[in-house]
Amino acid sequence: MSNRVLPLRDALREAIQEEMQRDETVFLMGEEVAEYDGAYKVSKGLLQEFGPKRVIDTPIAELGFAGIGVGAAMNGLRPIVEFMTWNFAVLAFDQIVNNAAKTLSQSAGQFRCPIVFRGPSGSAGQLAQQHSQMFESWMSNVPGLKVISCIDPADAKGLLKSAIRDNDPICFMESELMYAHTGEVPEGEYLVPIGKAVVRRAGSDVTLVTFNKMILPTLEAADLLAQEGISAEVIDLRTIRPLDHQTIVESVKKTNRIIVVDESWPFASVASEIAYEVQKYAFDYLDAPVTRVNSADTSLPYAPTLVEAYLPNAGKIVKAVKSVLYAKA
């Protein structure tokens, strides 16, 4: 198995292509996925290879085509439903939350719903309030759904392949700003287990936990802290539900301090759940309060200066780290 450097969009495409080649029940549907090669070119070339019965352009009707996908999954197919953005998927929440997530329990185990809902989540430059929301905490609040959120191209390939093969409905969160983000990607068969975080950088003084594109300012902050002799361990969650609290807790037992960096709003966020898990499983190891670095508790503005003020960044993370390092036990 060799590695190549690929952008995120190509890693995602390779995962879809390989799974469609491997399993004829897998198909892709969504807005502009066929004739236009995808809004972000993730599906480039798939229509030519697999034809219009397996790569299907849909109307601008998220509730409708999500419902078609759920019905297809209940009848033995494995749909990949692409939303141009998770902000548009709000229109399909009835199908995702009330049908896909509840198929197994409502049918007393008689029906599964092996479907992947995917697309970009979170801020994407100056797209303002209705196109810049993070949906990881929304979706992970629903029993029956699994939630994946990553930007590393190798992870994206391995996790998307695992998601397509999974028998449960999965929300796969990407980032519009990261489709050109590159990394080494294994060639050929490559799977990443769902529900397992990864340590991106080992450290001893403080644990930094994050996911999706916030991994980049978090690693930048770790570099800045290292220049001051502060050793930060960086954990990339990759999967939000099921949450790998064991990896987080083991790190906190070593560092005794934790900062959670989360692009979503602070109230009822993924960071809030992690704070609860840490106090439950590692309270006696903490030398400072669990601290969060979230986006501002407001809708995302349009002005670039306000976007910068709204989002977490390396400077805010460094400041938070110093607040827990110098806190009294």
pLDDT reported for residue 128: 86
Which domain-ending residue is among 166, 186, 206?
186
Q: Is residue 193 part of a domain?
A: no
* Same domain flag for 175 and 205: no
How many distinct structural domains can be found in the chain? 2
pLDDT reported for residue 127: 86
Residues 180 and 190: their CA atoms lie apart, in Å, by: 21
pLDDT reported for residue 48: 98
Amino acid at 44: K
Residue 260, CB half-sphere, CA atoms under 13 Å: how many? 24
Inter-helix orientation angle 153-165/8-22, to 10°: 30
Q: Which of 198, 200, 183, 210 is nearest to 313 (CA)?
A: 210
In percent, the amount of the chain with pLDDT more than 90 equals 94
Q: Is residue 110 part of a domain?
A: yes
Average pLDDT over residues 170-182: 97
Q: For 23-135, where are the alpha helices, taking DSSP H only?
A: 46-50, 62-74, 86-89, 93, 103-106
* Same domain flag for 140 and 67: yes
Q: Is residue 224 part of a domain?
A: yes
* Same domain flag for 100 and 180: yes
Which domain-ending residue is among 154, 186, 218?
186
* Same domain flag for 158 and 12: yes
**Strands of the chain, DSSP E:** 3-7, 26-30, 55-57, 78-82, 116-120, 146-149, 170-174, 182-186, 198-201, 206-210, 232-236, 239-241, 258-262, 291-294
Q: Is residue 191 part of a domain?
A: no
pLDDT digits (tens, 9 = 90+) for 81-135: 999 999 999 999 999 999 999 999 999 999 999 999 999 999 998 888 888 899 9
Q: Read off the pTM.
A: 0.96
Which domain-ending residue is among 186, 206, 238?
186
pLDDT digits (tens, 9 = 90+) for 302-315: 899 999 999 999 99
* Same domain flag for 165 and 233: no
pLDDT digits (tens, 9 = 90+) for 225-260: 999 999 999 999 999 999 999 999 999 999 999 999
In b/e form, how buried is each residue of 42-52, taking b as 16+ CB within 10 angstroms? Answer: bbeebbeebee
* Same domain flag for 149 and 206: no
Domain of 312, CATH number, reads 3.40.50.920
pLDDT reported for residue 328: 61
If you average pLDDT over every residue of the chain, what do you get? 96
Q: Is residue 72 part of a domain?
A: yes
pLDDT digits (tens, 9 = 90+) for 48-60: 999 999 999 999 9
Amino acid at 329: A
Pick 329 or 153 by higher pLDDT. Answer: 153
* Same domain flag for 179 and 208: no
Catalytic residues: 62, 131
List the beta bridge partners of residue 234.
Answer: 201, 208
Give the residue carrying structure tokens 């809902």: 117
pLDDT digits (tens, 9 = 90+) for 203-228: 999 999 999 999 999 999 999 999 99
Q: Residue 329 pLDDT more than 60?
A: no
What domain range includes position 237?
A: 198-324
Residues 311 and 263: their CA atoms lie apart, in Å, by: 7
